[in-house]
Chain A
Amino acid sequence: MRRRDFVRSLALGAAGVTLGSLRPFEAHGQPVAAPKRFVLWTTQHGPPRDTWKMSPPGLGAAGSADITGLDAAQFGRVLEPLHRVRDSVSVLEGLSMMSCMIDRTGSNNNHGISWSNLLVNVPYNSTDPFVGTVADNLHPRPGGASIDYHIGQQTGGGARLDSVMWSNGGGRFGSQFAFSSNDLGQWIVPNSNPTNAFNRLMGTGLLVPDDPMGPTDPPVTREQLVRQARFRAYNVALTHFDRIAPQLGTADQESLIAHRNHLERLGMRFRPGGTTPGPASMAMCTPEFTTSGDTMDDFFRLTTIALACDAVRTVSIDARQLRGSQIGGADTDDVHQAFAHGTDARATMMMENYYRFHAEEFANFIEYLRGVPEGDGTLLDSTLVMWVPELATGTHMFDDAPTIIAGAGASGFSPGRYIRFARDIPNVGCGYGCQYGTVGPGRVHLFVNAMRHMGMSDNSFGRTSATANDGSTIDLTGPLSEVS
C-alpha cells in the first residue's frame, strides 16, 4: 500500500483522516532513516488475575515462545483480539510494578499510588500531596517526570512537539487520575479533545505554521516580518522570568523556570533565519481529521497521523474507564466498584470483557500503524508501543502486571513472542495487594528498553535499586534483555 493510501482505510465514512500529501522522510531529496517513536497507552484498573495469560506450548517457568503460529483460541478470551496482529506484538508476563510496591504504605490507596508511580520510579511527593476532596493521603503527587515526558524532553527536538498527552476521559484530569508528570512532579493535564489535539499537532491555531519560504529565505511579507519580530518580543519577556525567579522560593522558582523554558522554546519558532522544529517532511504533510465519535479511536488515528508527519515522536494516551454498556452490562453499572473490585463470576467475566475490549482497540491501533508504509517496512517498525494497565488486577494488585508491547523491529525488538519472566526476586515491602514472597522484575526495566529504542543511552530510570523485605538489594538498572 502506498503511504498516502493507508488513510483511505482509516476513513470512516464522513469521519476519518486523510494525510493529503505525505512524502517519506528525505533530506535534500535523499531518503533518511525514519525517526524512532514511542507510544504509551494506559488503561484503567486491571484484568482479573491470570485470565489474560497464555500458555504457549513448550514454555516453562521462564523464557519466551513464538506466538505467531498459535491459533486464536490459544490467545485466550482476553487477548484473543491480538491474534490478528500477533506478528507485531509481544505479551510480557511476570513483570511487577516495583515502584508502586516500594512506595505503598498502609494508608495509601493503590489507585493513587499507581498513578503516582506507574510511569515514575522515584518516591512520590509526600510533602505536597495531590489533595483529594476526601482524604489528603489518597492521591500523592509523583516525585518527578514520567517516562513519556522524560523521553519526549530528551528526544523530541526534531519534531514539532516534544511529546503529547491525550485522554478520552472526563472528570478531574480527563481520566480517573492524572498519569503524566513533568520534571517537577507536576501533573500534566491531558488533552481530551481530538480536534484541538489535531489542530495543535498540525499548527492550526495553537502553533504558527511552518514558514513556507523555508528557513534560509528572508521574509517578504509584512505578516512574516511581524511574526519574526515576536522572537525579540518574547526574548524581552524571558528577561522578566530571569529577573523574578531568583527572588522566589524553590518551588515557585522551579515552576517559573519551567514556564520560561516553554516560552523560550516557543519563541524559537519565530527566530529570524532560524528553523522551526520539525523536519522538512512536515511541510509535505497536509492531513485532515474529522472525529469519528469514538474518542479513543480518534486518538489512535491522530497518533498515526502525528507519527507519520513527525509532528511528535512521543505520545501517551490514557483510556477512561469503560462504560458498563461497552462490556456487556449497563451504563448504570458501577464498573469500578462492582466489577473491578469484584471477585465473583460476573465481575470476573465483566473485567475479562473489559480487557478484551481494550485488546480489540489495541489491535486496531497496531493495524493503523503498520498500514503506513515507511522505507522498506511500515511506521510500526520504528515505533515502540507499550500498553500498561493502571494495576495488575482490578483488585489492586501490583505484582504480575500484564504488559503488551508492539513494533520497534528497527530497534531490535522481536515481536510475536510470549515472554514469561521468572518470579524469583524477593518482594519489597508493600502490604495489601502484593502479598507474594517473590515477584518478577520491575517494569521500570522496560522503560530502559524504551529509552534505548529512542536513542538514549540511559541505563536506569529513577531509582537504581531497592531493598527487599529480606534485606537484599534489588537492582533496578538495565533493560530487559529478553525483549530486545
Chain B
Amino acid sequence: MKTTRSLAAALGGSGPRPSTRGRPALRAPAARTSALCSLFLGTLTACTGVLETPTGGPNGCPPGDPSCAPAHASCEGDPSEATALAQHPLRRLSETEYHNTIRDLFQGVPYDETELVPALTAGGFENFVANTRAVSDRDVEAFNVTVDSVAARASTDAAFLARHGCDDPAQQSACIDGFVRQFGLRAFRRPLTSDEEAVYRALIEETAATIDLAAGIETMIASLLMSPELLYRVERRGQDAAGPYEVASRLSYLIWQSMPDDALFAAAAADELSTPEEREAQARRMLSDARATEAIVDFHRQWFRFSRMDEDKYAAKSPTRFPEWTTELRASVHEEVRRFVRHVAEEDTTLARLYTDRTAFVDQEMADHYGVSAPGDWSEVELPASERSGILTRANFLAGTGIAGHGSPVHRGIFVYENLLCQHIGGVPDGVDTSAVNDPPPDQTTRELYAEITSPGACRSCHARVNPVGFSFEHYTSTGAYRTTEVGRDIDATGALVGSEFESEGVSDAVELSDQLAASEMAHACASNKWVSYMLGRRLDETSQDDACYSSRIQQVFWESGGDMRELLVSLVTQPEFVGGAQ
C-alpha cells in the first residue's frame, strides 16, 4: 500500500509532496542552495543565549537566498573531477557489522552471538570512527568468545569446508591450499598476499602434523578472526582511488552492514567496480536483498534512537499517571517501530512515507495503546488519520522523549530541530534550575508549564525555536497515548516547524508537522546528510568544500527522486568520491 506518490509524478519535477489532508498546499521545492545553506551555514550558528529575531529562515539564512551560495560556488564544476572526499583508512566494525560479518562468513555454521562492549554512542552513528576507536580488553575477550564458539564447529563442517575449497579433507594438501586462499579472501575481504598464504599454510600444516587437519583449520580460523584485517576495514592511505576490494567493502558495509558476497568479490576480482554504472548495477542488486532492508531499518534505529525510551530518564514514568507503561508494552513499542520502518523500507522507502505513513503493525498491547482493534498478532492496521502520521507519532519516539510526568515538548522539539532539520542548539546553561518541570501545578497544562518556565530572557533564544516544534506533540502523553484534553482543557497543539522553510505557516498538531517535514527540502537535506555521514563514519566537516559538494549532490538526487532512500544509496556509491582513496 502506498500513501505517498513519487515526487516526479506528483510535481512533474522534483521534491516530495505528502498527503496534506486538506490542509493548505505546501510550498514548492526551494532552490537547491537552501539545502546547502541549511547544512553548512545553518549549523555554524548556535543558540548563544542572546535573543535573536529569526530573519526568514533558520539562523537568518532564508531558503533560496543566493547569498548562501557563494561559500561553495566551486561545486558547480565537473563532478567527475571531484574525488578528494576524506575517507578513513581504518574503521573498526561496529557491533552490528561484526555480527553480520561473522554470520555471513560462516553461513550456516551455528555460533553463539557474543555481546560486545556497547558502542560509545557519543553522538552520530555506531559505525563512526570516533565511536569504535576504543578497544578494551573486554572487546578482545569477546572476539575470543566468537573463536571459541565457531572455529571448532566450522573446522569439521563439511559444507563449510567444501565452500572454501576443501571438498575432500583426505586430500590434505589441496584442502589446505583451497582453504587458505578462499577462506582468507572472504575473511580479509581481499585476496591474501603470497606471504600471508605461506604463513597460514604453514600454520595449518604444522598444527595438522602435531594434532590433526581440523585442528589446523581451526587454528587458522582463530588467527583470522582476531586479525585487524577482519575486525577493521583497512584501506591503503594516500592512493588516488580505492582498490576494487576496498570498493566492494565500502558497498557492502554501506548497503548491508556486512561483508561482500560472492558476486561482489567476483566483480572486484574482475575490476568491475570502477565505473558508476558498474557500481550502480551492484547497488541495485544488493538493494533487492533482504539484508539491505534490515540495514535501512538499523540506520533508522540509530538515527531515531529507538533505545532512548529505555534510558533511565525516559523509562521511569509515573506509575499513577501511566499505569499502561509495562514491560510488555515497552517490548511491543520496540517491535512496532521496527516493523513500521521495515514496512517503509520494503515499500517505496521515501522520507515522506516515513513521516506520513499511517500503517502500523500491532499486537494487542499496541492496539490498545493506539486505540485500534487488532485482528491478530502483529497484524497490519491503519491508524486514525487525525491522530497518527509516520514515525514521529509512534509510541517509540514519543515515549523516548517523554519524561516521568509528561511528554516533554523540549525534548521532542530538540530532537526534531537537531536530528531531523540538522540545526544546532545550545545546552542548558549551567546552574539553571529546571526543577519546576517535575512538579507542575495540578491545574496547569504541560504547554502552559513549559511556556512559563522558558519565558526568561536567557531561555528564549533557544526555546523560541524548540518550543513551537515540541508543542505540536501535545496530543501525546509520555507513553505516546493520544489525548484530547489535559487538566480538563482541550489540547492546544499548535506550533511551527521552526528551522524549516515552513516556519511561518505554522501547524495545528504533530500530524501536520509531519506533513511539513515530509515536504521540507531542509528535512530532506538533513536526512541525506545523515546518510552521507553514516557512510563516511564521521560527521561532515563544515569547513570542507569536498564534503559540501558531495553532500549537496546527494541532497539534490535525493530530493529529485522524491526522497527515495534507495535512490539516495545508489547516488552515494555512483558519485566519483565514493571510490576516492583513503586519506
Q: Mark A113-135, 1 if CB is under 8 A from B, else 0.
A: 00000000000000010111111
Q: Could you tell me the distance between the alpha carbons of A182 and B117 in the complex, rounded to whole angstroms?
A: 15
Contact with B along A135-178 (1 / 0, CB 8 A): 10011000000000000000000000110000001111110001
Inter-subunit contact B226/A255 (CB<8 Å):
no
In the bound assembly, the distance between CA atoms of A301 and B312 in angstroms comes to: 24
Q: Cβ of A15: which chain B residues have Cβ within 8 Å of it?
A: none
Residue A262 interfacial (CB < 8 Å): yes
Q: Which of A91-99, A221-229, A376-384, A410-418 contacts B (4 or more CB under 8 A)?
A: A221-229
The answer on a CB contact under 8 Å between A331 and B89 is: no
Asked if B136 contacts A262 (CB within 8 A), the reply is yes
- From B137, B141, B223, B321, A237 is in contact (CB under 8 Å) with B223
Which of chain B's residues have a CB closer than 8 A to the CB of A173?
120
Q: Mark B40-83, 1 if CB is under 8 A from A, else 0.
A: 00000010000000000000000000000000000000000000
CA distance A331 to B144 in the complex (A): 40
| B124 part of interface (Cβ distance < 8 Å) | yes
Are A237 and B226 neighbours in the complex by a CB distance under 8 Å? yes
A65 interface residue per 8 A CB criterion: no
Say if the beta carbon of A474 comes within 8 Å of chain B: no
> Is the Cβ of A256 less than 8 Å from the Cβ of B228?
yes
Q: Tell me, yes or no, whether B319 is within 8 Å of chain A by CB.
A: yes
For the complex, what is the distance from the CA of A330 to the CA of B438, rounded to whole Å?
A: 11
In the assembly, what is the distance between CA of A206 and CA of B215, in Å? 21
Min C-beta distance of A210 to chain B, whole Å: 15
Asked if A191 is at the interface (CB within 8 A of a chain B CB), the reply is: yes
Which residues from B are CB-within-8-Å of A135? 46, 425-427
- The answer to whether B137 touches A161, judged by C-beta atoms less than 8 angstroms apart, is yes
Answer yes or no: A189 CB below 8 A from chain B CBs.
yes
The reply to whether A236 and B430 contact each other, CB–CB distance below 8 Å, is: no
Within 8 A of B (CB), among A177-221: 178, 182, 184, 186-189, 191, 196, 200, 205-207
In the complex, what residues of B have CB within 8 A of residue A108's CB? Answer: 430
- Alpha-carbon gap, A150 to B231, bound state (A): 26
What are 26 of the A-B contact pairs (CB < 8 Å)? A132-B123, A133-B123, A135-B425, A172-B121, A172-B122, A172-B311, A186-B134, A187-B122, A200-B141, A225-B210, A226-B215, A230-B147, A233-B226, A234-B223, A236-B223, A237-B223, A240-B228, A244-B229, A248-B90, A252-B90, A262-B140, A330-B318, A332-B318, A334-B403, A341-B434, A341-B435
Give chain A residues whose Cβ lies under 8 Å from the Cβ of B120: 173, 178, 187, 189
* A463 contacts B by Cβ under 8 Å: no
Q: Which of B123, B231, B317 contacts A332 (CB 8 A)?
A: B317
- A147 vs chain B, min Cβ distance (A): 17
* Residue tally, chain A, CB below 8 Å to B: 73
How many angstroms from the CA of A7 to the CA of B246 in the assembled complex?
A: 56
Q: Please tell me if the beta carbons of A189 and B118 are within 8 angstroms of each other in the complex.
A: yes
Residues of chain A within 8 A (CB-CB) of B207 are 229, 232
| Chain B neighbourhood of A34, CB < 8 A | none
Known: A226-B152, A258-B135. Contact between A131 and B124, CB under 8 A?
yes
Residue pair B122, A132 in contact (C-beta under 8 Å): yes
CB distance from A401 to the nearest CB of B (A): 18
Contact with A along B107-147 (1 / 0, CB 8 A): 00000000101101111100000100111111111101101
Q: Does B185 contact A (CB under 8 A)?
A: no
With a CB–CB cut-off of 8 A, which chain A residues contact B224? 237
> Which chain A residues have a beta carbon within 8 Å of chain B's beta carbons?
108-110, 128, 130-135, 138-139, 161-162, 169-174, 178, 182, 184, 186-189, 191, 196, 200, 205-207, 222, 225-226, 229-230, 232-234, 236-237, 240-241, 244, 247-248, 251-252, 255-256, 258-259, 262-263, 265-266, 320-321, 323, 330-334, 337-338, 341-342, 347, 396, 432
| Contact status B123-A131, CB under 8 Å | yes
Is the pair A337, B312 in contact by a Cβ cutoff of 8 Å? no
Q: Are B203 and A266 within 8 A (Cβ)?
A: no
When C-beta atoms are compared, the residue in chain B nearest to A132 turns out to be B123
The verdict on A255 contacting B312 (CB below 8 Å), with A234-B223, A333-B438, A342-B433 known, is no
Given that A132-B122, A341-B433 are contacting pairs, would A182 and B136 also be in contact in the complex, using a CB cutoff of 8 Å?
A: yes
Shortest Cβ gap from A435 to chain B (Å):
12
> Are B437's CB and A334's CB within 8 A?
yes
A171–B223 CB distance below 8 A? no
Pair A186/B142 contact, Cβ less than 8 Å: no
Query: Given A196-B115, A233-B223, do A248 and B89 touch, yes or no (CB 8 Å)?
Result: yes
A206 near B124 with CB under 8 A, answer: no
Given A138-B427, A248-B90, A256-B228: A206 in contact with B134 (beta carbons within 8 A): no
Number of residues on chain B facing chain A (CB within 8 A): 76
Our pick among A134, A162, A432 for the contact of B137 (Cβ within 8 Å) is A162
Is B385 engaged at the interface, CB distance under 8 Å to the other chain?
no
Min CB distance A271 to B, Å, is: 14
B437 pairs with A337, CB closer than 8 A: yes
In the complex formed, the residue of A with least CB distance to B117 is A189
Query: Does B284 reach chain A (CB closer than 8 Å)?
Result: no
Q: Is the CB of A134 within 8 A of B427?
A: yes
Chain A residues closer than 8 Å to B439, beta-carbon distance: 338
CB of B97 within 8 Å of the partner chain: no
Chain B residue numbers with a CB within 8 Å of A225 are: 210-211, 215
| Closest CB in chain B relative to A314 CB, distance in Å | 13
Check if B434 sits within 8 Å of A170, measured CB to CB. Answer: no
Complex Cα gap A375–B414 (Å): 59
* Interface assignment of B157: CB less than 8 Å from any CB of chain A: no
In Å, the complex CA distance between A261 and B544 comes to 35
CB of B509 within 8 Å of the partner chain:
no
Query: Which of A130, A169, A236, A255 lies in contact with B199, CB distance below 8 A?
Result: A236
Identity of the chain B residue whose Cβ is nearest the Cβ of A339 in the assembled complex: B435
Q: For the complex formed, measure the closest distance between the CB of A21 and the CB atoms of chain B, giving whole angstroms.
A: 25
Docked-complex contact A233 and B228, CB < 8 angstroms: no
Report the minimum CB–CB distance from B266 to chain A (whole Å): 25
| Nearest CB on A from B467, distance (A) | 16
The residue from A134, A171, A207, A263 contacting B311, defined by CB atoms under 8 A apart: A171
Complex CA–CA separation, A251 to B313 (angstroms): 34
Whether A244 pairs with B136 at a CB distance below 8 angstroms is no
Q: Identify 17 new A-B residue pairs, CB closer than 8 A, beyond the known A251-B133, A256-B232.
A: A134-B426, A169-B312, A170-B311, A206-B138, A222-B212, A229-B207, A229-B210, A229-B219, A237-B224, A244-B229, A252-B90, A255-B135, A258-B135, A262-B139, A341-B433, A341-B434, A396-B431
Q: Residue on A with the closest CB to B236? A: A247
In the assembled complex, the CB of B246 is this many whole angstroms from the nearest CB of chain A, namely: 14
B448 interfacial contact with A, CB 8 Å: no
Digit string of B297-317 for contact with A (CB within 8 Å is 1, else 0)?
000000000000011110111
Q: Do the beta carbons of B313 and A255 come within 8 Å of each other?
A: no
- Bound-state Cα–Cα, A332 to B46, Å: 32
* CB-CB nearest in chain B for A189: B117
User: How many angstroms from the CA of A355 to the CA of B260 in the assembled complex?
Assistant: 54
Q: Bound state CA distance, A50 and B255, in angstroms? A: 58
Interface 0/1 of B315-336, CB less than 8 Å to A: 1111101000000000000000
Chain A residues positioned under 8 Å from B27 (CB to CB): none
Q: If the complex has contacts A131-B122, A206-B142, are A189 and B136 also in contact, measured as CB distance less than 8 A? A: yes
Asked if B404 contacts A233 (CB within 8 A), the reply is no
Whole-angstrom distance between the alpha carbons of A320 and B311 in the complex? 12
Which of A188, A191, A236 is the most central at the interface, judged by chain B CB atoms within 10 Å of its CB?
A: A236
Q: Nearest Cβ distance between residue A160 and chain B, in whole angstroms?
A: 11
The answer to whether B140 and A266 have CB atoms under 8 Å apart is: yes
Contact A337 B438 (CB under 8 A): yes
* Known A189-B118, A222-B215, A225-B210; contact A134-B425, beta-carbon cutoff 8 A: yes
Q: Is the CB of B404 within 8 A of A331?
A: yes
Contact between A263 and B226, CB atoms less than 8 A apart: yes
Distance of B297 from chain A, by nearest CB (Å): 21
Instruction: Tell me the bound Cα distance from A133 to B133 in angstroms.
Output: 19
Q: A226 to B141, Cβ gap below 8 A?
A: no
Q: Which residues of chain B in 387-416 are interfacial with respect to chain A, using CB atoms and an 8 Å cutoff?
A: 403-405, 414
B218 interface residue, CB < 8 Å from A? Answer: yes
Contacts of B418 in A (CB 8 A): 133-134
A233-B203, A237-B223, A255-B135 in contact; A171/B312 too (CB < 8 A)?
Answer: yes
Bound complex: CA of A23 vs CA of B465, how far in Å? 66
